[in-house]
Amino acid sequence: MDLLDQLTHSFRQTFNAEPTLVCSPGRVNLIGEHTDYNEGFVLPAAIDKAIYLAVSQRPDNELHFVAHDLDKTYQGSLTSLIPTHTWADYLLGVVAQFRLAGHGLGGINCVFGGTIPMGSGLSSSAALENGVGFALNELFQLGIQRVDMVKLSQRAENEFVGAKVGIMDMFASMMGKANHVIKLDCRSLDYTYAPLRMDGISVVLCDSQVKHSLVTSEYNTRRAQCEAGVRFLQTFYPEIRSLRDVTMPMLDQHLRDAEPLIYRRCAYVVQENQRLLDGVEALEANDIATFGQLMYGSHEGLSHWYEVSCPELDILVDIARQQPGVLGARMMGGGFGGCTINLVQEDVLDDFRKLITKQYKARTGKDTYLHVCKIQDGTHVIS
């Protein structure tokens, strides 16, 4: 049985009812890393690795959740929504936020499982939260707009789970559109879709199998460095609010000699925002080759200017550059491990898989796992 059949079967066995089925995808970000908390732009897309949920209303106020992949269950009540510090918090947090927002809910049954590789940086938690919110909206006919569901998902993770994440992951998972990327303005939440015409090209993720503990501490340090750069520049330009408002001439004139390290951090962010805008123009002109070169530029900036890469990620990008038919590659996510994202022509996919598996093992002693993705629609009911 495929996963959907398994979830449906498990739901019927457990609850003796017919479920509503929801698909909530993971996401990739093609370009625009560490720009979100600087009020810049990001360019994510929803992918065909997803969380699937089988759900129904209950006649009481109880909450019954089954984590199919973990073979674990949770039972609780709408009247007692408190963190458990387990996987159940990703569901409970969303229920709690819907209640706080004044939406009338009853009890629910839910069986869920997924095809998002764990720990791969594809935002399985955001997909699960969106899936739960979307299911509640469907089951209780609440009429909530998608963007408002995204905000409730983010609040659930920030306030209930306790992870201070930005809005990109939830936004991409909920708002994705097949064969398109989302140009999201993280200041205003204005967004547009740009076409991603990927005929004969695959999005391939290469997992470095590195999980560094540096991510949180260094993330906070980078954020503080960007804020320090803004404060320094505000003495000359009181009107600027974030690095979104800063130009390279401003940085070159005032920051480069005075604060060389802060200059490098800020310069990366300013340049990355411009790379993203140039990348959207390239996509609209169906110029994937230029877009791929901008991805390489993004990695160079992340590695040498922002310094959030690691030797393994640099090696994966270096190997990708050697393979004819790889249009672009870069690290994706917070850094210090996780995946690279690669645009690979489908006719060289087998060669790419062999080359990167063999050379990565030879150069690092580690295995890499490849995930081939398609760009799909955001969270939706499966009819």
- The catalytic residue positions are 169
DSSP string, 63-76: EEEEETTTTEEEEE
Task: Read off the tokens for 220.
Answer: 């906070």
Residue 307 is labelled as binding a ligand: no
Residue 217 is labelled as binding a ligand: no
**Opening angle at CA 298, ends 293 and 301, nearest 5:** 130
Distances in Å between the Cα of 31 and the Cα atoms of 264, 272, 330 are 19, 8, 8
Residue 157 is labelled as binding a ligand: yes
Residue 39 is labelled as binding a ligand: no
Residue 86 is labelled as binding a ligand: no
Nearest to 44 by CA among 161, 203, 188, 202: 203
Nearest to 373 by CA among 21, 25, 31, 68: 25
User: How far is it, in rounded angstroms, from Cα 313 to Cα 29?
Assistant: 16
Distances in Å between the Cα of 102 and the Cα atoms of 55, 144, 152 are 21, 12, 12
Residue 36 is labelled as binding a ligand: yes
Residue 309 is labelled as binding a ligand: no
Residue 10 is labelled as binding a ligand: no
Residue 33 is labelled as binding a ligand: yes
DSSP run (H or E) holding 337: strand 337-345
Task: Establish how many alpha carbons lie within 13 A of residue 109's alpha carbon, considering only the half-sphere containing its beta carbon.
Answer: 20
Residue 77 is labelled as binding a ligand: no
334 secondary structure, DSSP code = S
User: How far is it, in rounded angstroms, from Cα 28 to Cα 169?
Assistant: 9
Could you tell me if 327 and 201 are in contact, meaning their C-beta atoms sit under 8 angstroms apart?
Answer: yes
User: How far is it, in rounded angstroms, from Cα 302 to Cα 290?
Assistant: 19
* Strands 201-211 and 108-114, bridge-based pairing: unpaired
Task: Read off the tokens for 87.
Answer: 């996987």
Residue 119 is labelled as binding a ligand: yes
Collect all residues with Cβ–Cβ distance below 8 Å to 297 and sequence separation of at least 6.
271, 275
Could you tell me if 370 and 204 are in contact, meaning their C-beta atoms sit under 8 angstroms apart?
Answer: yes
DSSP run (H or E) holding 25: strand 20-29
Binding-site members for Mg(2+) are 125, 157
Binding-site members are 33-36, 119-125, 157, 219
Binding-site members for substrate are 33-36, 219
Binding-site members for ATP are 119-125
